[in-house]
Amino acid sequence: METIKLGQDGAAVCPLCIGTWAWGDKLFWNYGSDEEDAKQLQVAFQAALDAGTTFFDTAEVYGFGLSEKYLGQFIQQSDRPIQIATKFGPAPWRFTAQSVSDALTESLKRLDLERVSLYQVHWPFSFFMSQETLMNALADEVQRGRIEAVGVSNYSAEQMQQAYKILAARGVKLASNQVRYSLLTRQIETNGILDTARQLGVTILAYSPLAQGLLTGKYTASSAEKPTGARRIDPRFSKEGLQKIEPVISILKKIGDRHGRTPAQVALNWLIAQGNLVAIAGAKNANQVQQNAGALGWQMTDEEITQLEQVTRPWLY
C-alpha cells in the first residue's frame, strides 16, 4: 500500500484517511448511538483495515467523545497496526498548558491508547491561551511521548508559519494542516496555504474531499434523491447549485468510465495526485469504506488531471 509521511518526521500513513466525524454524531449527521449503529461502524472499521486504509481521523468533539470511544473499542479488538489522529479544541475556559495535557489525557482514555500518531489543534482560536502557550504545551507532549506529531487545522498560511516557528524552537516540526480541499473548494491553492505547506514540509490533510457528497454524482438538479441532514440547508445542494456543478460531474463520469471508477473515486484520486496530501473521506458503513478505497492503486493521465483543473477553476477563489 502506498504511504505518505506526516510532515518531515511523522508516521508513514495511507494517503486516504477514514474520517469519523459522523460516528455517534446525532447533531449534524443524524447518526445514532445504539447497538446496531455500533455494529455497523465496527464492520466499517474492519473493512477499512481489509482495504489497507489504517489511518483514522477523529476529534474530542465528534459525537461528544463517542467517535473516539468507538475507535478505542475497535482498536482493542484488532491486532493490526493502526494510526490515529485526533484533535484538541481551543475553548475560552482552556487557557493553560495543563488544560492541553488534560484534554489529551481524556482523548487517550477514550481511545484506550498510550499515544496517538497525530494530535491537532482543531481551530486557530486564541481566546485566552496564546499560540506560544499552546504550541509549547504540544511540544511538551511530544517529548513525553504521548503524541508522535503535532498538527493544526483550519490555520491560514500566516498562522501555520507562526505555529511552525514556535514548535521549531523546541526542536519539533509541524507535521500537518487539516483544511477544506476538494475540486469544488480549491481556495488553498490561491490563498497561500498550499504553497506555504510545501515550503515548510507540512502535509495537507484534506477534509470534505467530496464536498459533502456533491462530487459523488448522487445529487443532480433532475434527481429524485433529496439531500438530508446538514445538506438540506446548504445552498450548494439547491437546484441552482447542482446545475452549476454539472460540467464537473460530467467530466468526472467520463474519466471514471475510462478507468472503471466512480466520480467520487476520481475526485479523491485527483486530490491524492497533488502530492504531500492525505484525503480524509468520511465513512459510516463498509460499502462507503470500500468505495473510498477505490481511489487508490491507479493514476489518471496528465491530460485528465488538466481537464479537471480547468473545469473547476471557478472554485479557486
Active site residue 181: no
Q: Which residue has the higher pLDDT, 33 or 267?
A: 267
Every domain of the chain and the residues it spans: 4-315
Q: Which amino acid is located at 223 in the chain?
A: S
The kind and range of the H/E element at 138 are helix 131-144
Amino acid at 170: R
Nine-digit cell string for 265: 473515486
The hierarchical CATH code for the domain 4-315 is: 3.20.20.100
Long-range Cβ contacts of 162-165 (<8 Å, 24+ apart)? 162/131, 163/121, 163/131, 163/135, 164/200, 164/202
Is 31 a residue whose pLDDT tops 80? no
How, if at all, do strands 16-19 and 277-282 pair? parallel
Lowest mean pLDDT across 22-31, 50-59, 83-92, 238-247: 22-31
Cα end-to-end distance, the chain, whole Å: 34
This prediction's pTM: 0.94
Provide the pLDDT confidence category of residue 66 given band limits of 50, 70 and 90: very high
Q: Which listed residue (62, 70, 181, 219) is catalytic?
A: 62
What does the pLDDT look like over 224-269, one tens digit per residue? 566 666 666 677 888 888 999 999 999 999 999 999 999 999 999 9
